Structure 1
Amino acid sequence: MVRVLDKAAVQPRRTFNPSTSFIIRRSPGRSRIATIQIKIPAVNAQPNRVELVATVGVKGVTGIVQILFRIFRDGVEIFNTQQGIESAGSEQNYAVTFQAVDRNVKAGTHVYTVTAENRTANTRADVVGPISFSGLAVQTRT
């Protein structure tokens, strides 16, 4: 049995739109994609987990880009995944979706942030949308 503690969601971009795109910064720089806040109560909230899901629409512009997506809780990285993005032929536009689980989060308000960074020299990829990021905090029973 689980009990919902909190939920949050943002959708900074609802559609694919190249005219409002932005370049994914080259490592070690990062492009911030989306941020949410999750509140964990001080009483009766352990054990718990925060289930996080992000979708980012990306377009390859030059070369084959390796994009590193990261999720941070309160500025500390808790998850990462990497996705290759092509820029030629039929594979140019991608909706990259990933999920993470953060377990036994302490009481308080926590800021979760998704970032992206380009890990490949002399390549380019842009965020073209859509973008969504959601979190669901639940108390779990052992």
Structure 2
Amino acid sequence: MVRILDKAAVQPRRKFNLATSFIIRRSPARSRLATIRIRIPAVNAQPNRVELVATIGVQGVTAIAQILFRIFRDGIEIFNTQQGIESAASEQNYAITFQAIDSNVKSGNHVYTVTAENLTANARADVVGPISFSGLAVQTRT
């Protein structure tokens, strides 16, 4: 049995648009893509999990960029994944979707943030949209 505790979703960019694109910053700097807030009640909320899903539209501009996507809860990294982004003369446009599960989150208000950073020198990738980020907190029964 599963009981919904909270849900949140944002979509800062609804579609692919080169006119509003921005460069993914070179690591160790990060580009913040989206933030949501999830509330876990103090009573009858354990055990639980927060299911997080992000979709980011990215375009390769030069070389092959290795992009590290991270999800943070309250400023602490809880998940990461890496994606290679090719550029001209190959695939250029990507809609990257990934999912993370944060288990047994303590009660209170939590801020989840998804970021991207470019790990590759002399390569460039841009966020071109769309960007969406959602979270669903559920109580689970064991």
TM over 0.5: yes
Write the deviation string for residues 70-120 of structure 1: whole angstroms up to 9, x where unpaired.
Answer: 000000000000000000224000000000000000000000000000000
Write the deviation string for residues 9-61 of structure 1: whole angstroms up to 9, x where unpaired.
Answer: 00000000011000000000000000000000000000000000000000000
Q: Which 4+ residue blocks in structure 1 deviate beyond 2 angstroms?
A: none
Corresponding residue of 2:87: 87
Q: Give the partner amino acid of 1:52.
A: L
Corresponding residue of 1:32: 32
Q: Give the partner amino acid of 1:45.
A: A
TM-score by length of 2: 0.99
- Secondary structure (helix, strand or coil) at the match of 2:19 reads helix
Q: Give the partner amino acid of 1:125.
A: A
TM-score by length of 1: 0.99
- Secondary structure (helix, strand or coil) at the match of 1:19 reads helix
Question: Structure 1: which 5+ residue stretches go unaligned?
Answer: none
Aligned length: 142
Q: Give the partner amino acid of 2:93.
A: N
Percent identical pairs in the alignment equals: 85
RMSD of aligned residue pairs (Cα, Å): 0.4
Question: Structure 2: which 5+ residue stretches go unaligned?
Answer: none
Q: Give the partner amino acid of 1:26.
A: R
Alignment of 1:97 with 2:97, yes or no, is yes
